[in-house]
Homo-oligomer: A and B are copies of this chain.
Amino acid sequence: MKRKMTLKQIAKELDVSVSTVSKALKDSKEISQDTRDKVQAFAKLYNYRPNNIAISLKNRQSRNIGVIIPDIVHHFFTQVISGIENIANANGYNVIVCLSNESFEREVLNMEALAQGSTDGFIMSLAKETQEKGDYHHLREVVNMGMPLVMFDRVADEIYCDKVVIDDAQAAYNAVNQMIGSGCRKIAIISTHDHVSVGKLRTLGYMNALRDAGIELNENLVVKVDGEEACAEAARKLLKYQVVDGIFAVNELYAIIAMQEAHKREFRIPEDISVVGFTDGILSKYSNPPLTTVVQHGFEIGEMTAKMLIDKLEGREPEDHYRTEVIKTTIELRESTRNEATTTL
């Protein structure tokens, strides 16, 4: 490993002091033009670059942003990372990505490791396990240390920090409302056994939409499942034993699976049954027929989290004041729904 050029070496070579070199490189007028030129030329020649670590130590900041997410293979999270990276990069920050893999322990370990100087602040979405446990001591700790924290998507209400979320209930409401507008009356919802808000909120939006349209809630059309197989099974039952003319699924995958089951039973989509998903991903775009979905705008969420964090880091926002930004969802109308001239949201 070749030694890297340092101020000290330059100083020695040019027979000046380290301070002089440092100042000369910053074009400080405390140093004569002559010396400045000499130093700069030498530095350029040997391709001198200041050592990030030394600067971090000196300034007590790393210019790194720690991102802790449950998992990276989901489209939504990659979009968020993309957005974060975009803003971070533009502001001279690097992004350190850690995966909790939905594990509480790894989430804690990762946070603790990064919190000791590696990172100036955190952006995170909670692991499922963490949500179930409801143990947020690690979050409290970093917040108490004065490290800015921005949570998104899966957030902990009881932690005081900046947050970026979508209005799940409203988004679900809009989606279901759209289905109603296109003539659906027997709309089923396929949701998850969420220990968390997300599933509940989306179900709530579903119910409100029905209520506001004067449609009575049929409990048989409200199903909660975990896993692909369970979803397929539930869809089969739904289609076999119930009268259904619309299915609203709380994620993309469940919607696709429901569509597949509908196909198998020879339902026509969207003529016989409309299907709407949540979280716009690549599946929705290329499924057959393409799926109408609620778009969460992960990229914008990522950008927003990064903006909020950097604002805190650079002192543009007061430390002790926390905001919760709600990012608007939209509906991407595709061919799995009958899209009359109803206003798109």
**A interface residue numbers (CB < 8 A to B):** 1-2, 4, 49-54, 56-57, 62, 64, 71-73, 75, 78-79, 81-82, 85, 89, 94-99, 106, 110, 112-118, 144-147, 253, 256-257, 260, 263, 281-283, 286-288, 319
Contacts of A71 in B (CB 8 A): 82
Question: Is B82 a contact of A78 with CB atoms below 8 Å?
Answer: no
A98 interface neighbour in B2, B95, B110, B263, Cβ under 8 Å: B95
Contacts of A145 in B (CB 8 A): 1-2, 4
A53 with B56, Cβ < 8 A, contacts A96-B94, A288-B288 known: yes
Query: Considering only CB atoms, which chain B residue lies closest to A85 in the complex?
Result: B99
In the bound complex, how far is the Cα of B95 from the Cα of A94, in angstroms? Answer: 11
Question: Is B288 a contact of A253 with CB atoms below 8 Å?
Answer: no
In the bound complex, how far is the Cα of B69 from the Cα of A81, in angstroms? Answer: 13
In the bound complex, how far is the Cα of B98 from the Cα of A323, in angstroms? Answer: 28
In the bound complex, how far is the Cα of B64 from the Cα of A62, in angstroms? Answer: 13
Shortest distance between the CB of A182 and any CB in chain B (Å) = 23
In the bound complex, how far is the Cα of B281 from the Cα of A56, in angstroms? Answer: 40
Contacts of A118 in B (CB 8 A): 52-53, 64, 94
Shortest distance between the CB of A298 and any CB in chain B (Å) = 9
Contacts of A97 in B (CB 8 A): 81, 85, 95-97
Shortest distance between the CB of A78 and any CB in chain B (Å) = 5
Question: Is B49 a contact of A116 with CB atoms below 8 Å?
Answer: yes
In the bound complex, how far is the Cα of B146 from the Cα of A99, in angstroms? Answer: 29
In the bound complex, how far is the Cα of B282 from the Cα of A50, in angstroms? Answer: 44
Using A95-B96, A97-B97 as known contacts, list a sample of 20 further A-B pairs with CB atoms less than 8 Å apart, ordered by residue number in A: A1-B145, A1-B146, A2-B144, A4-B145, A49-B116, A50-B116, A53-B53, A53-B62, A54-B117, A64-B96, A64-B118, A72-B85, A73-B82, A78-B78, A89-B98, A89-B99, A256-B286, A260-B286, A283-B283, A287-B288
